[in-house]
Structure 1
Amino acid sequence: MPARRTASPLDPPPGLKLLHRSAAAPVARDAEVGGLGLDWTITPDILDQVGLTEWRRLAEAYRMTPVRFREGDRAAVAAYCSWWSAFAVAAADVRDRGPVVEGRSDHDRGRLVKNPATVAMREASQQLRYWARELGLTVDARVRIGLADQVEQDDDDNPFS
């Protein structure tokens, strides 16, 4: 026996049939699920300047799709921007000092060792990949969640059109 469906506040009262659903119903249902569109002007306090720059880049990139991210996604987007910042800082250290550095411990003094920032870069890149997939920021993730990129086709190049 199938489980009973619980009534939603958006459902019509019992006995009342709607011929056409209101245009507001899907918006209200969406707001019920993940909140309204993310207000990009409210920036998370945890982000440093690099993280804020990424936050603002995403805000601009998704300006034309105001409900692409919801208020319920705020923590995930902030986590992505935080890991972006960690990656950028570690990458800058590797760029400036190189992948190997002079050892600092007594045992390693006088020889080259792997730059600890490479480990930080690897961890940050793993987290970035996770959050990018979770948020649909990669081509593969967008296809998986049904947000495939629209490829504009020029009919002039199509000999069959």
Structure 2
Amino acid sequence: MPARRTNNALNIPAGLKILPPKTALAVAKDAEIGGLGLDWSARPDLLDADGLALWDDLAERFAQQATRFREGEREAVIAYCCWWSAFAAAQRDLMTRGPVVEGRSDMDRGRMVKNPASVAMREASQQFRYWARELGLTTDARVRIGLADQGEPNDDDNPFA
């Protein structure tokens, strides 16, 4: 059997190319637009259990998309996780104490008032939604930045279905 033809001394089969590694200019360009991919293994110290759980969920969800989030966005992702944590804490307080609580100020002693956790929950949800949009984690934001979800596959277009 004849030997395969190669295109150079490295015995690379004809028709195959080895792409050059990223140039220094390309690496610099990546760093310029936010750095390399976010290192999910460097978990932020300031997050509590709820925040870390969300961080880990995001790390798992985006594990196959190395540069979906970049190091330059680390603080934004941390803010997103912090606001989720604040929302969860306020929600737990509402579940434990209910929507109304006994007043603590001199004027409110002896009467029931709206649970302050509901205000904290509303504020946290607004911030959480803001950071979700900023990070492209909502459907609307993904469409806006060109990361539109792929629709359900249509079996009518598949001749093998």
Give the TM-score normalised by the residue count of structure 1. Answer: 0.79
4+ runs deviating over 3 angstroms: none
Q: Does 1:111 align with 2:114?
A: no
| Counterpart position of 1:89 | 89
Q: Does 1:121 align with 2:127?
A: no
Percent identity between the two aligned chains: 67
- The equivalences for 1:1-161 within 5 A come to 24=22, 27-28=26-27, 29-156=29-156
Deviates most, 26-35 or 68-77 = 26-35
Measure the CA separation in 1 of the matches of 2:114 and 2:52.
30
Deviates most, 46-55 or 104-113 = 104-113
Give 1:39's aligned amino acid: D
Give 2:147's aligned amino acid: L
Aligned residues: 139
Query: Which structure has the larger Rg over C-alpha atoms?
Result: 2
**1:15-69, Cα deviation, whole Å (9 max, x unpaired):** xxxxxx9672585222331100000000111111111111001101111111100
Give the TM-score normalised by the residue count of structure 2. Answer: 0.79
In structure 1, the gaps of 5 or more residues are: 1-20
Give 2:73's aligned amino acid: D
Distance 1:131 1:85, change over 3 A: same
SS at match of 2:33: helix
Measure the CA separation in 2 of the matches of 1:118 and 1:157.
49
Deviates most, 25-34 or 41-50 = 25-34
SS at match of 2:77: helix
RMSD: 2.2
